[in-house]
Amino acid sequence: MSILDIIKTPYTAFLNWRDFNIFKKKIGSFAKGSRLVIFDIDNTITCTWPSLLVTYPNEKSRVLSLAVNLNCLSYLKEKISNENYKVFFLSHRSFKIKQCTIDWLTSVLDFDANEKVFFTSSPKMKLNYLEFASARIGNIEFIDDLSFNHEKGARLLYDEVINKVRGFNNVEYKGVDFLEKLDDENYYFKSRI
Ligand SMILES: [Mg+2]
């Protein structure tokens, strides 16, 4: 194991902790009765999986080139423009691409995404966010495909995580079925090749 690997693990743990703490403070500042919308990014707002089959000069250029699912984008914009909703993004992505993700969202949405984007190192860690929010906010909508492996042929679901998400009473979960209906013409949900 290189020195870099030894440093990397606690540093990533710190970044996870930091994002979760910012989220907790934000949630704590919301008035009772607020409505929270939590959006995933990959394969939810964007067509991510085809980009994993192409070689890019670096991760940043891959992220900045991602295509948007147009109906999902309209749905999201509708929530952002409604003052009754607080909109956050919760993504399982590398912290290395966090700033370019914020820049990308800000440009695509015409909305300041700073301090509204939270990253986790696994899909399972998203449950901590939902658990914390659901204890304080009465009405939460969670839009997330919670799927993986599509670029390898068959899309699989994070069933264990999905079951736990469905277990939160005040969380309305909108997963692949919802996204598929929303962007039914979208190639990213079709079988690969
Ligand atoms: Mg996703």
Q: What distance in angstroms lies between residue 136's CA and the mean position of ligand 1's atoms?
A: 25
pLDDT of amino acid 191:
44
Q: What is this structure's pTM?
A: 0.90
User: Mean pLDDT throughout 174-183?
Assistant: 92
pLDDT of amino acid 128:
97
Angle between helices 126-134 and 3-29 (to 10 degrees): 20
Q: What distance in angstroms lies between residue 92's CA and the mean position of ligand 1's atoms?
A: 7
- Domain regions of the chain by residue span: 3-189
Tens of pLDDT, residue by residue over 113-137, are 988 999 999 999 999 999 999 999 9
Radius of gyration of the chain (CA): 17
pLDDT of amino acid 185:
60
Tens of pLDDT, residue by residue over 134-171, are 999 989 999 999 999 888 888 899 999 999 999 999 99
Strand 35-39 versus strand 67-68 pairing type: unpaired
Q: What distance in angstroms lies between residue 123's CA and the mean position of ligand 1's atoms?
A: 9
Q: Could you give the dihedral angle defined by the CA atoms of residues 120, 115, 110 and 30, in that order, rounded to the nearest 10 degrees? A: 110
Task: Give, as residue ranges, everything with CB less than 5 Å from ion ligand 1.
Answer: 40, 42-44, 145
Q: How far apart are CA 137 and CA 73, in angstroms?
A: 24
pLDDT of amino acid 116:
95
Contacts of 129 (CB under 8 A, 6+ apart): 20, 23, 38, 90, 118, 120
pLDDT of amino acid 72:
93
* CATH tag, 3-189: 3.40.50
% of the chain beyond a pLDDT of 90: 63
Strand 171-174 versus strand 139-143 pairing type: parallel
